[in-house]
Structure 1
Amino acid sequence: MLDGITLHQLQCFEAVVSEGSFQAAADKLRRAQPTVSAAVKNLEAQLQLTLLDRSGYRVTLTEAGRSFLERTRVFLHEMQRLRDHAAQLAMGEESELHVVIGDVSPLPQTLALLRRFFDGCPGTKLHLHFEAVSGPWERLFDGEADLIFHYIEKSDPRYEFIDLFPTKVIPVVAPGFLRFPITKSITPEQMRDYVQCVIRDTARHSEPRSYYLIEGAQSWTVTDQLMKKELIVQGMGWGHMPRYMIEQELRDKTLLPISGKHFRGGQVELVAARRRDSPHGPIANRLWHYIAEEIEQMIPGAG
């Protein structure tokens, strides 16, 4: 490193600042607190600069420390990119890929997309997983998925994503399910006495989430959208469904929309997503570019 400065010293310095204390930095880096403290002191000695003001309850940056931190973070980011690139070069073609399909993704189109790609990759085994609500995100960030087809929080910088297509979600009931006429003014209070069907969140350690749930209403949870649709068709409950899954039932009037002033439904922006901060092998990268090209042809301007 430069004049004896080590990567370890820079990592300790950045961690102390980002975490707010030497102990928190040690916990983050899985090092002993005295080791982190010594690394930062040695860094300051080699630089002949005081980077941290230790006089208060919490350590703070000096003016010199603030300037040095900016360059340190740029350097550490570039080091991580270099590591990722080296990991990609060392990978070779993957023997297997793990792909998660979320509960609102249209299966025929998604599976057709994957089939066309993997027909040309006979040496790579595809592991398909089906997850609901926050399950796909958890699989991705737990390192158990290379790619997910789902909706995401697009402002989260950990994601790299390709826009696929929007999916409308609408509230529906079976004919005769309600004891009052269907109008545009149905309220949540009116629906509270009716069983609501919801998809079970498949996340294992994240806080469970639910959407469109009426507080205080009885709800039944199901594992997938097809089972949910069948329960609603059979008049065993009501719920919100992706429109593409119920087009025929809407035409046949075996399902009736109750969208209106208080039940507006929604729109889900489906994407293909992967982690920006992880290295990806050659097959994963080929799949990524293949999806982008296919979507560009289907929807000009997408991707």
Structure 2
Amino acid sequence: MKLKTTLEQWLTLIEVDRAGSIQGAAQSLNKSHTTLIYALRKLEQQLGMELIRIEQRRSVLTDEARALLRRAIPMVAQARTLEMVSNQMAQGVESEITLTVDHLCCRQWLMGPLARFSRQYRGTSVQIRETSLSATERAVTEGEGDLAIINLPVGNHLTDPFGVVTMVPVVAPNHPLSRLESVTISDLIAHTQVVVRDLGASKTEGERDVGWLRSELRITVDNFDHAWDAVRAGIGFCRMPEHRLAEVDSSQVVRLALDGGGAYQVPLHLTLPKGEQTGVAARALYQLLLEDAQSRMGRPDGAPI
């Protein structure tokens, strides 16, 4: 079916409503007063209804026009977005990028940069994949993502600091270890340890181990959400990222006072797995993540941390 109206006509009506007068809309659209009057009268003829009436020398939209504007405004906005996306695609901007994130990373560190990115690159979808241990390294070495947040630098890949995660040992309040003022290695060995699985390990390679893993019994889970549930249930102790404890009811767990080392820190880094072949959108998201990290870590000037 051939359309009777054009986007330009609806844009004119929207601007008249915003400016409060035809003269104001003419100045905003850089068109003559006569041109806008003609366009509006033409639109009224095409629709078969009155859209504008004059009240006290002001151009006022009729109730019917306002009802139509509720549909016209998002339609014009979508047309603008379509043109912007088309322009980005013509410049080689990717339609989709993948960000791989090590499971130790605080999720909130991603939200601000992602929100700004989505406003600037509306035509680019972002896939976020969580990795751990060997999967984190393989995502970089095999170029599985366009940008990556990793816990250890990978050979032949440049990195920038992204943050530091503190790992703390915790148990449920009713766990026997919670009643000890100082916990030794011997105490830990006698109890079940909750461990997060190496999601990237193959059957032939075997799982990669990190940290203290000398307990006689282990409960191995896929992620820290499951580990948190296991700890709260009193199954065993686990080293949890400190930022995870800040996101939940920390009164449900007790931090263990370990004799000879109660916590350790893991630095996180940003890298571009595809190097010089990285696309426009991926580089833009990388820069937004980096700027947010520098501000969060107190060095907005980008100087070495």
- Range class of TM-score, shorter chain: 0.5 to 0.7
Report the CA distance shift for 1:98/1:180 in structure 2 as closer, same or farther (over 3 A).
Answer: closer
CA shift for structure 1 position 131: 1.6
Amino acid in structure 2 at the alignment position of 1:181: R
Cα distance in 2 for residues equivalent to 1:166 and 1:180: 27
Cα distance in 2 for residues equivalent to 1:131 and 1:220: 19
Contact 2:143-2:273 at 8 Å conserved across structures: no
Counterpart of 1:218 in structure 2 is 217
* TM-score for both structures, normalised by structure 1: 0.62
Report the CA distance shift for 1:249/1:99 in structure 2 as closer, same or farther (over 3 A).
Answer: closer
Counterpart of 2:271 in structure 1 is 273
Counterpart of 2:29 in structure 1 is none
Cα distance in 2 for residues equivalent to 1:214 and 1:183: 22
Equivalent of 1:175 in 164, 173, 176? 173
Counterpart of 2:57 in structure 1 is none
Counterpart of 2:77 in structure 1 is none
User: Is 1:139 matched up with 2:139?
Assistant: yes
Report the CA distance shift for 1:111/1:223 in structure 2 as closer, same or farther (over 3 A).
Answer: farther
SS at match of 1:123: coil
Amino acid in structure 2 at the alignment position of 1:243: E
Equivalent of 2:197 in 188, 196, 200? 200
Contact 1:91-1:281 at 8 Å conserved across structures: no
For structure 2, the 5+ residue unaligned runs are 1-89
CA shift for structure 1 position 129: 0.8
CA shift for structure 1 position 277: 4.5
Amino acid in structure 1 at the alignment position of 2:283: N
Cα distance in 2 for residues equivalent to 1:216 and 1:172: 15
SS at match of 1:267: strand
Contact 1:188-1:214 at 8 Å conserved across structures: no
SS at match of 2:200: coil
Counterpart of 1:127 in structure 2 is 127
CA shift for structure 1 position 141: 1.3
Report the CA distance shift for 1:166/1:179 in structure 2 as closer, same or farther (over 3 A).
Answer: closer
Amino acid in structure 2 at the alignment position of 1:191: L
User: How many pairs are equivalent?
Assistant: 210
Counterpart of 1:112 in structure 2 is 112
Cα distance in 1 for residues equivalent to 2:234 and 2:223: 17
Amino acid in structure 1 at the alignment position of 2:113: L
Cα distance in 2 for residues equivalent to 1:95 and 1:140: 21
Cα distance in 1 for residues equivalent to 2:161 and 2:125: 25
User: Is 1:191 matched up with 2:184?
Assistant: no
Counterpart of 1:293 in structure 2 is 291
Pick the structure with greater CA Rg.
Answer: 2
Cα distance in 1 for residues equivalent to 2:188 and 2:97: 44
- What pairs with 1:211-250 in structure 2 (closer than 5 Å)? 211-247=210-246
Report the CA distance shift for 1:202/1:261 in structure 2 as closer, same or farther (over 3 A).
Answer: same
SS at match of 1:246: helix
* TM-score for both structures, normalised by structure 2: 0.62
Cα distance in 2 for residues equivalent to 1:219 and 1:132: 18
Contact 1:171-1:263 at 8 Å conserved across structures: no
CA shift for structure 1 position 276: 7.0
Q: Percent identity?
A: 19
For structure 1, the 5+ residue unaligned runs are 1-89
State the Cα RMSD in Å. Answer: 2.5
Report the CA distance shift for 1:220/1:173 in structure 2 as closer, same or farther (over 3 A).
Answer: same
Contact 2:102-2:130 at 8 Å conserved across structures: yes
Cα distance in 2 for residues equivalent to 1:129 and 1:292: 19
